[in-house]
Chains A and B, each alone.
Chain A
Amino acid sequence: MAEEPREIWITGIGLASSLGDGVREHWKAMTDAEAGPALDVERFEPYRVHPLSDIDFSKQIPKKSDLRQMERWQRIGVYSAGLALEDAGIAGDPSLLPRTHLVVAAGSGERDTAVDSQVLDALATRADTAVLAKEILPSALRPTLFLAQLSNLLAGNISIVHKVTASSRTFMGEEMAGISAVENAVRRVAAGQAELVLVGGALNAEREDLLLGYELGCNLWANAYRPVWQRLEAGGGFIPGSAGAFLVVEAREHAEARGAKPYAEVRGIASNRARRIRPGEIRDSIDALFVEVSKGLATGPLAVLSGASGVSRPTSEELAFLDDLDTRHFAPVIRAYGSRLGHTVEAHFPLGVALAALALNRGGFYPAYDGGGEAEAPFPQASVLDRVLVTGVGHWRGEGLAVMERTSDGRA
């Protein structure tokens, strides 16, 4: 009964990050070998973050009443989702939007940290927790804030602002959320359960509460900036980056019928979750995934966009896996895009897929980001960029790989 899976195209990309706004600005910033990352080293000292560039949200979220209802992570997401729809030629199309499915990778919304701090100070002087429920919280909490805290409200706001309504689902679980979201979109389109899916995620890294959450597991990098791979020798850790990354995933037939051109094709995607009890489990997990997604893939140079976070164990096991690819006769040319953009957690895998699609469309790869380190070799001059491996290894859990390929009839 199983029919041949359909070809999956990326027909739209929406990006917002510390390096800019939109596909063009990102291509320019990410291919600039001399440029460095954008960092804020003071606000959350000793932690660093890659702060969102100056973005006029009203360009994609025109109604003030909508903007007022959203916290910043939602604005970033709704904004980049709008860019992706526009890029794919779907924005404002009343015949396509009700048939466009939505898949979002999200964490939880933002807390009012000023209120939290005030409550904690009050509790310190009156160790009476009843006071919390009785006197402080009811006046301190705002109903709109609660709505901004619900994980699925990024999706909800995208539906409201951009009118995407075929279906709406939100996945959670840090990096796994982004991997699950892209995989869900791709599998549904491949099987004919959907034609057109808007998928992505957003992170506001400039958040007191979010940094606290990550630091509970001691995952953050709290020293002077280093590229991802070079943090390994100093204990590891990630630098969060604000970003929104959305993709329009579309069945080839559907795209062709409406005259939409692809950036690239998603050739394969797979995910897993190693228990991470024994050393080497992550590496084995990614290795098994590679066997799955590389079936029929010609050996030779292989461009890799690595979603490595810099957190010690997953990053070193991923590097070991990549280094070992030569035993499978692949010569990996690695770029950890997080060195430039920061680790964007839920948005990170969609971001990697977007950057891969963009490079395949432009026909060139990105320069090394590791400041003269050994992990990132130059892309062989004579080679054509015709496929990219995207990796996603969660800082705590979850592994995913995608293989992207150039399409013969790409967008100009």
Chain B
Amino acid sequence: MMSERFMDKKGRPVVVVTGMGLVTSLGWGKQENWVALQNGRCGIKSISRFPTDGLRTTIAGTIPNRPGHTPENYSACDLSLAIAEYAAAEAVDQAGIGGAGSFPGPLIVATPPSELEWPHLRRLYLANDDKQQTGYRGLRAAARSGEFTDLARHVRFAAIADALQSRFGTLGEPLSVCTACASGSSTIQFAVEAIRRGETEASLCVGADATVHPEGLIRFSLLSALSTRNDPPQAASRPFSRSRDGFVIAEGAGALVLESYRHATARGAQPLGVVLGVGEKADCYHRTRSQPDGAAIIGAITKALEDAAVDPEDIDHINAHGTSTPENDRMEYLSLRRVFGERLSGIPITSNKSQVGHTLIAAGAVEAVIALLSLQSGIVPPTLNYRDPDPEIPLDVVANAAREVPMRTVLSNSFGFGGQNVCLVFAAEPN
């Protein structure tokens, strides 16, 4: 018989986190990041990767170069893979699970958009010497030569998952996930579901995004989603402030090893935290906006609390989605207020996006790692630039400096375009 302590209140296997890895604009690895996060540093800077003159937004949270880890020439695919690998290696190493290159469970990857970038298209364009073949016809003629197979990885949606699987030796078919800016959280959700189904004892969850390129920037700019407060860059991302004017695009990777508590205990691994519950609800209102009453966000939070078998009173800290857009922060507040009522004003809340920027596809995984580090240490990293609180959204924001908060249970929110809402509940101990 399976010991009761390995089962949750609903009779399902308890799922714990036994390894974590992190790369953000603040640095490579948990240690570098955690020091910077606690000290209230900001990773957002002026873009130097490409010329930005003429652009409305000229700042981003790009990954700092690290010799031996950063690809020589930037491409979204290669840099995303490099940081994904680093974070995953850190997580697997900490978990001490499996053998070298053999991870005993599936891989689930939140993967950024796969597309040819302008330098790639240009290579094909210049290679086509038959000027009768214009436009994409000419590009295809170049491709047909077979001389550009090295570019295929940029348009294969499973390329990043495939390379990670080869490196870490995960089992079965890897999942490549896109739920927009909730993707990182979705990987954790899917792993929890698989462990609860009894399909696997462990899973490697990775979210990565390194898409700071001209087109990426311009696209979000055209949606009026980005902050244009370029100077100084560190003051642009200001979640929950009255003067917030958009998010700052950023790069990052987060990785987590999830494992059944039973399996972790049997091999003597120390849990770093527990994934108590997951909740998801899709919005059907608009492609980029939430239902005005917040029904889907409320649904996701409520489902997560129910799934975790905790009451709103049990939540000690909220790691917010907090993008710093006027719309998101208002809707997130309204929805939290509906679920938590008056008590909301007493729950310390923070948005890591003020420090690392919005890591898009990776955000859920990056912020899950930070939420778990907070839970472990009893320290919540600050929401920077919180100098003019928005009176419409009164919250107990951990303003400008880290705060000690005794915590047992934490809620982490992730929302994405296309009506994606995923919420996770983490705890220090199984309940």
Residues of A within 8 A of B (CB): 1-2, 47, 69, 102, 106-108, 111, 113-114, 116-117, 119-120, 123-124, 129-130, 132-135, 137-138, 141-143, 146-147, 149-153, 155-157, 159-160, 163-174, 176-177, 179-180, 183-184, 187-188, 191, 193, 208-209, 211-213, 215-218, 222, 271-273, 275, 396-400
Given contacts A117-B135, A132-B118, A400-B173, contact A124 B186 (CB under 8 A): no
Taking a contact as CB atoms under 8 Å apart, the answer to whether B140 and A211 are in contact is yes
* B148 CB-CB contact with A under 8 Å: yes
Q: How far is the CA of A79 from the CA of B282 in the complex (A)?
A: 19
Q: Is B231 an interface residue (CB 8 A)?
A: no
- The answer to whether the Cβ of B266 comes within 8 Å of any Cβ in the partner chain is no
Whole-angstrom CA separation of A2 from B260 in the bound complex: 14
**CB atoms of B135 and A168 under 8 A apart:** no
Mark B73-85 against chain A: 1 for CB-CB distance below 8 A, else 0: 0000000000000
Distance of B246 from chain A, by nearest CB (Å): 14
A258 vs B66: C-alpha distance in the bound complex, in angstroms?
A: 59
A135-B54, A170-B179 known; A156+B113 contact, CB < 8 A = no
CB-defined A-B contacts under 8 Å, sample of 17: A1-B12, A69-B287, A107-B157, A117-B134, A134-B54, A137-B214, A147-B417, A168-B418, A169-B177, A170-B178, A172-B177, A212-B136, A212-B143, A216-B152, A218-B144, A218-B146, A396-B152
Report chain B residues within 8 Å CB of A147.
Answer: 223, 287-288, 417
Interface contacts (Cβ under 8 Å), in number, total: 247
Q: How far is the CA of A264 from the CA of B55 in the complex (A)?
A: 56
Q: When the two chains form their complex, are residues A177 and B174 in contact, meaning their CB atoms are under 8 A apart?
A: no
Given contacts A129-B50, A146-B219, A169-B179, 12 further A-B contacts (CB under 8 A): A2-B198, A69-B287, A102-B282, A146-B220, A155-B282, A159-B282, A168-B420, A177-B158, A208-B137, A212-B124, A215-B140, A397-B158
The digit string for B138-178, where 1 denotes a CB below 8 A from any CB of A, is 01100110101101100111100110011000001111111
Q: Return B143 CB to nearest CB of chain A, in Å.
A: 4
- A187 engages B199 (CB within 8 Å): yes
Contact across chains for B157 and A273 when beta carbons are under 8 A apart: no
Residue numbers in B under 8 Å from A146 (CB-CB): 219-220, 222-223
**B404 interface contact, C-beta 8 A:** no
Bound-state CA distance A180–B109 (Å) is 13
Q: Which 3 A-B pairs have the closest CB atoms?
A: A156-B418, A173-B158, A134-B54
Are the C-beta atoms of B283 and A153 separated by less than 8 Å? no
Interface size on B, residues (CB 8 A): 85
Residue in A117, A149, A188 whose CB lies within 8 Å of B136 = A117
Q: Does chain A have a CB within 8 A of B53? A: yes
Question: What is the distance, in angstroms, from B111's C-beta to the closest C-beta of chain A?
Answer: 6
Whether the pair A150, B418 counts as a contact (CB closer than 8 A) is yes
- For residue B224, give the distance in angstroms from its CB to the closest CB of chain A: 8
Q: Kindly list chain B residues whose C-beta atoms are within 8 Å of the C-beta of A149.
A: 113, 115, 219
Asked if residues A187 and B197 are in contact (CB atoms below 8 Å), the reply is: yes
Contact check, A134 vs B55: say whether CB atoms are below 8 A apart: yes
Contact B157 A397 (CB under 8 A): no
Per the bound structure, the CA–CA distance linking A302 and B53 in Å amounts to 64
> Does B31 reach chain A (CB closer than 8 Å)?
no
The answer for the CA separation of A137 and B155 in the assembled complex, in Å, is: 21
> Is B283 a contact of A170 with CB atoms below 8 Å?
no
Cα distance A400–B173 in the bound complex, in angstroms: 9
B175 touches A171 (CB 8 A): yes
State the CA gap A91–B127 with chains docked (Å): 51
Known: A146-B219, A167-B282. A152 touches B118 (CB 8 A): no
Task: Given A133-B54, A143-B222, decide whether A271 and B286 contact each other with a Cβ distance below 8 A.
Answer: no
Closest Cβ–Cβ distance, residue A44 to chain B (whole Å): 8
Nearest Cβ in chain A — how far from B83, in angstroms? 19
A173 in contact with B51 (CB, 8 Å): no
CA distance A135 to B220 in the complex (A): 17
Question: Which B residues are in CB contact (< 8 Å) with A173?
Answer: 156-158, 161, 174-176
Q: Name the residue on A nearest B225 (C-beta).
A: A143
Are B114 and A108 in contact, with the CB atoms below 8 A? yes
Whether A165 contacts B157 in the complex (CB less than 8 A), given A108-B115, A153-B418, comes out as no
Provided the pairs A124-B125, A397-B162 are in contact, do residues A172 and B157 lie with their beta carbons within 8 angstroms?
A: yes
- Cα–Cα, bound, A168→B186 (Å): 10
Contacts of A271 in B (CB 8 A): 172-173
Closest chain A residue to B214, Cβ basis = A133
Q: Are A134 and B53 in contact (CB under 8 A)?
A: yes
Give bound CA distance, A83 to B43, whole Å.
Answer: 48
Please name all residues of chain B whose beta carbon is closer than 8 Å to the beta carbon of A114 when the two chains form the complex: 135
Residues of A within 8 A of B284 (CB): 159-160, 163-165
Asked whether any CB of chain A lies closer than 8 Å to the CB of B193, the reply is yes
Contacts A116-B136, A396-B156: A180 and B175 contacting too (C-beta < 8 A)? yes
| B157, closest chain A residue (CB) | A172
Q: B281: CB under 8 A from chain A? A: yes
B218: chain A residues at CB < 8 Å are 133, 137-138, 141
Q: CA A117 – CA B177 in complex, angstroms?
A: 30
Is B215 in the interface zone, CB < 8 Å from A? Answer: yes
User: In this complex, which of A1, A166, A191, A208 has the most chain B Cβ atoms within 10 angstroms of its Cβ?
Assistant: A1
Of the listed residues A146, A150, A173, the one surrounded by the most CB atoms of chain B closer than 10 A to its CB is A173
Interface contact B140-A212, CB-CB below 8 Å: yes
For the complex, is B252 an interface residue (Cβ under 8 Å from A)?
no
Contact of B144 among A106, A177, A215 (CB under 8 A): A215
Which residues on B sit within 8 Å (CB–CB) of A137? Answer: 214-215, 218
* CB contact between B174 and one of A135, A167, A273 (< 8 Å): that residue: A273
Known: A120-B122, A173-B158, A275-B166. A108 touches B113 (CB 8 A): yes
Nearest-CB distance from A372 to chain B (Å)? 30
Which of chain B's residues have a CB closer than 8 A to the CB of A396? 152, 156, 158
* Nearest A residue to B134, CB-CB: A117
A150 touches B180 (CB 8 A): yes
Q: How far is the CB of A356 from chain B (nearest CB, A)?
A: 20
B309 lies within 8 A of chain A by Cβ: no
Contacts of B136 in A (CB 8 A): 113, 116-117, 208-209, 211-212
- Contact of B148 with A216 in the complex, beta carbons under 8 Å: yes
Report Cα–Cα, A216/B141, bound state, in Å: 10
Q: In the docked arrangement, what's the CA distance between A176 and B107, Å? A: 14
- On whether A174 and B157 interact (CB within 8 A), knowing A137-B218, A159-B282, A180-B175, the answer reads yes
CA distance A134 to B224 in the complex (A): 17
Provide the residues of chain B in CB contact with A138, threshold 8 Å: 54-55, 218, 221-222
